[in-house]
Amino acid sequence: MNASKKNVALQAIDLLKTKLYPEMILGIGTGSTVNAFIDNIDQIANYFSAAVSSSNASTSLLRDKGINVLDLNDVNEIHFYIDGADEVDPNNFLIKGGGGAHSKEKIIASASNEFICLVDESKRVSELGSFPLPIEVLPMSRSLVSRTIVSMGGVPIYRNGFITDHQNHIIDVTGLDFSDPSDLEKKLNAIPGVIDNGVFARNKPDLVIFPKD
C-alpha cells in the first residue's frame, strides 16, 4: 500500500473515532486512496451502523470487511462521506472520476452532511485542469456531447472499452477553462446526454486531509 494513501486513511480513521456514534451512516467513495481507508475500516467498524457506496468495487470491498452496505434510497441521512480526488485546488474544488464513478460519488456527496476528501500531495494543484476531466454520458449522446465540448474549446477523448456501473460511457476532456469551476460544472451538465461531470464545485469537500509526518 502506498505510504501516503495509508497516512491520510489513518488520519481519517482517527478523526472519525471522535465523531461517529453507532446509528450513523458513512458514505464511501471509490479509488485507491479509499481502498486504503477500507483496508483499515475494521478500527471503526463498531462506531457506525452501515455504509452507502459509490461503486460496485467499493461495495464488494466493504462487504468483504463485514460492513453492511445500503442503497441510498433506504437511507435518510449520511453523516460523513469519505472519498479521494484526482486534483484539488486551493479552494477545495476537485476533479474526480478517474475511476469512472464520479456521478454516483457526487450524488452521495450531495446527500452527506460532511465530505472528507483524502489525497496525497501529488493531487494538490494551483488550478484544476491538468488531469483530464471525466464526463459520464449516455452512449447514444457520446458524439453529440463531444462536438459540443469541442465548441467550448475542449479536447474530448472517448474512454474506449470502459463502461460505468450504470452502463454509460466516459469522455475524458482536456483544454477547458477552469478559471470558474462552478460555472464550468453547470455548463457541462446542461449539455443534453451528460449524466454528470467530474468537477466538484457545488459539492466540494468540507475537509481535505493531506499526508503529515
Please report, for the domain that includes residue 164, its CATH number: 3.30.70.260
In a shared domain, residues 14 and 119: yes
Q: Do 16 and 99 fall into the same domain?
A: yes
Which DSSP category does 46 fall into? T
Q: Where are the alpha helices (DSSP H) in the chain?
A: 3-17, 32-39, 56-64, 102-110, 142-151, 181-189
- Domain range enclosing 109: 3-125+202-209
Query: In the structure, what pLDDT confidence band is assigned to residue 114 with cuts at 50, 70 and 90?
Result: very high
Residues 106 and 149 in one domain: no
Task: Please tell me whether residues 94 and 192 are part of one structural domain.
Answer: no
1: confidence class by pLDDT, cuts 50, 70, 90? low
- Report yes or no: 76 and 103 within 8 Å, Cβ to Cβ: no
Same domain, 64 and 120: yes
Instruction: Tell me what the pLDDT averaged over the chain comes to.
Output: 97
- Per-residue model confidence (pLDDT) at position 49: 97
- The CA radius of gyration of the chain, in Å to the nearest whole number, is 17
Structure confidence by residue, pLDDT tens digits, 70-109: 999 999 999 999 999 999 999 999 999 999 999 999 999 9
Among 56, 46, 36, smallest CA distance to 16 is for 46
Do 163 and 117 lie in a common domain?
no
Helix axes 56-64, 32-39, angle to 10 degrees: 20
Cα distance between residue 105 and residue 108, in whole Å: 5
The answer to whether residue 105 is catalytic is yes
**What phi and psi, each to the nearest 5 degrees, are found at residue 174?**
-120, 170
Give the pLDDT of residue 54.
Answer: 97
Looking at residue 213, its pLDDT comes to: 75
Same structural domain for residues 33 and 62?
A: yes
Residue 168: per-residue pLDDT: 98
Residues 18 and 102 grouped into a single domain: yes
119-138 pLDDT, tens digit per residue, is 999 999 999 999 999 999 99
In tens, the pLDDT along 136-156 reads 999 999 999 999 999 999 999
* pLDDT digit string, tens, across residues 13-59: 999 999 999 999 999 999 999 999 999 999 999 999 999 999 999 99
Segment 172-194 mean pLDDT = 98
* Separation of first and last alpha carbons in the chain: 17
- The 8-class DSSP code of residue 189 comes to H
- Exactly one of 23, 87, 105, 185 is catalytic; name it: 105
* ∠ CA 50-53-209, rounded to 5°: 95
Q: Name the domain count of the chain.
A: 2
| Distance in angstroms (rounded) separating the CA atoms of residues 62 and 52 | 10
Residues 169 and 83 in one domain: no
pLDDT in tens, 58-68: 999 999 999 99
